[in-house]
Amino acid sequence: MIDFELSADMKGMRDMINQVAEQTMRPISRQFDEEEHTEPSDWQKMMWDVSKGSSVFGGGPTDKKERSGNGKPSERNVGATVTIEELSWGDAGLYLSIPNAGLGGAAVAAAGTTEQKKRFLQRFSEGDPKWAAMAITEPGFGSDSAAVATTAVRDGDQWVLNGTKIFCTSGHRALEKSEGFVVVWATVDKSAGRAGIKAFVVDHGTPGVTVTKVEDKLGIRCSDTAAIVLEDARIPLDNLLGDAEVHADPADASKGFKGAMATFDATRPAVAASALGIGRAAVDFVRTALKEAGVEIHYDRPPMKQTALERDFIAMEAHLQAARLLTWRAAWMMDRGMKNNLEASMCKSKAGLAVTQVTQKAVEILGPLGYSRKILLEKWLRDAKINDIFEGTQQINLLIVARRILGYSSKELN
């Protein structure tokens, strides 16, 4: 049975992180939105010192139930969603700029062996600030992973990678600002379609790997979004993520791809949690503004006796709460080693839609003030939309939900 009541420890952690968000993120939020490619170095160093080695920023699915010190099921992934919501309430772009294993670490956690997890993730508990990233999207495709054109060809005891990746979150920081890595999705057999795609760890300093562009963006502007070109980039054989079975025959269409895709089962709840933080920031601001204007929300009245504004505001809160419960459920299942690909797509699609609707309505309610740069509300509207796009668009996630519920394969329902 799922208990949606957070533990006392979890509530204490949430309150502490909210203070960090309010006191250290909100004051610099506007500055680093306007100075898009300026590094918030002092803030990053502070966050690295307090969070390095934390699984909150590099967690992922497990193949068995995790146990906490008291023998109860772990709250690691639920705790991650709570943490990410609070940090994104402070500023989503700054949250995405925190030095950590990020998407790349989630890919290693999902598809890597015990040895690979130790080798690649250990560095995130020591030394200077580091980032990891994941590179999937290419100039020729967005959501259709079967269209991956980046190739991986075996040459003796190495893999040789060639291709171009775009919209890679933290790609520049991972490869050029730290001793990090990027998990690159490439095909070992184009004729096999999706099943030929594997995940490879490309380390910083690898010859033939170049960051060619850092994007200018609508929102989450403090976050670095890079384009990466691989030209005869050589990596060790054991940088192919997966167990001995995958390495024995990487061209086998049944090996590797499912492990790589499991990354999204871990990262989609994280994206949903970030959406929740942005949406809650907007709702909190509107609530305060209405209270200061003497407008009361009558929750106990039937809809026919409420004003249009009251109904809109209550709907905003309801959308976020529904998305939050779906997100906690997906994370709760991960903490128990349960398959959650349906729930991960459900929470991500709901949260992405909710945050875009909520922030738009918040700007509408506040009128000219909401559209003004005097306050952060217009920024939250800009930050919101990415949550409906990356880690699988709204349409792709709804398609996955439909397939899982109806029992169709990707070939039967596309």
**Model confidence at 179: pLDDT above 60:** yes
Measured from the Cβ of residue 138, the count of other Cβ atoms closer than 10 Å reads 18
The chain-wide mean pLDDT, for the chain, equals: 91
Q: Could you tell me which residue, 143 or 181, shows the higher pLDDT?
A: 181
Query: What number is the average pLDDT over the span 58-77?
Result: 59
Q: Tell me the C-alpha distance between 414 and 404, whole Å.
A: 12
The fold of the 8-100 domain, in CATH, is Butyryl-Coa Dehydrogenase, subunit A; domain 1 (1.10.540)
Instruction: Return the exposure string of 222-232: e unless at least 16 CB atoms fall within 10 Å of the residue's CB, then b.
Output: bbbbbbbbbee
Question: What letter would DSSP give residue 339?
Answer: -
pLDDT bracket for residue 246 (50, 70, 90): low
pLDDT bracket for residue 59 (50, 70, 90): very low
Mean pLDDT check: name the lowest of 167-181, 186-200, 298-312, 348-362: 186-200
Mean pLDDT check: name the lowest of 20-34, 52-66, 81-95, 270-284: 52-66
Token reading at 245: 């079975």
- Minimal CA–CA distance to 280: which of 288, 268, 269? 288
For residue 52, the model assigns a pLDDT of: 74
- Minimal CA–CA distance to 207: which of 185, 182, 235? 235
For residue 142, the model assigns a pLDDT of: 79
**Model confidence at 114: pLDDT above 70:** yes
**Model confidence at 68: pLDDT above 60:** no
Bridge partners of 215? Answer: none
Instruction: Return the exposure string of 315-324: e unless at least 16 CB atoms fall within 10 Å of the residue's CB, then b.
Output: ebbebbeebb
Query: What number is the average pLDDT over the span 127-154?
Result: 91
For residue 259, the model assigns a pLDDT of: 67
DSSP line for 148-194: ---EEEEETTEEEEEEEEEEEETHHHHHHSSS-EEEEEEES-GGGGG
Rounded to two decimals, the pTM is: 0.93
pLDDT bracket for residue 66 (50, 70, 90): low
Q: Tell me the C-alpha distance between 411 and 414, whole Å.
A: 6
Q: Is 34 a catalytic residue?
A: no
Q: Which of 179, 343, 391, 412 is catalytic?
A: 391
**Model confidence at 378: pLDDT above 90:** yes
pLDDT cut 90: percent of the chain above it: 79
Q: Tell me the C-alpha distance between 148 and 159, whole Å.
A: 17
**Model confidence at 60: pLDDT above 60:** no
**Model confidence at 331: pLDDT above 90:** yes
Q: Tell me the C-alpha distance between 115 and 247, whole Å.
A: 14
- Domain 132-252 has what CATH class? mainly beta
For residue 247, the model assigns a pLDDT of: 60
| Three-class SS state of 392 | coil
Question: What would the pLDDT profile of 2-45 be if each residue is shown by its tens digit?
Answer: 567 888 999 999 999 999 999 999 999 999 999 999 999 999 99
For residue 37, the model assigns a pLDDT of: 94
- Domain 259-406 has what CATH class? mainly alpha
Token reading at 342: 């349906």
Query: What number is the average pLDDT over the span 380-394?
Result: 95
| Residue boundaries of the structural domains of the chain | 8-100, 132-252, 259-406
For residue 57, the model assigns a pLDDT of: 47
pLDDT cut 70: percent of the chain above it: 90
87 in Cβ contact with 100 (< 8 Å)? no
Q: Tell me the C-alpha distance between 338 and 181, whole Å.
A: 28
For residue 62, the model assigns a pLDDT of: 45
For residue 54, the model assigns a pLDDT of: 62
Give φ, ψ of 134 to 5 degrees: -130, 135
For residue 195, the model assigns a pLDDT of: 82
For residue 89, the model assigns a pLDDT of: 98
Query: What number is the average pLDDT over the span 132-137?
Result: 95
pLDDT bracket for residue 84 (50, 70, 90): very high
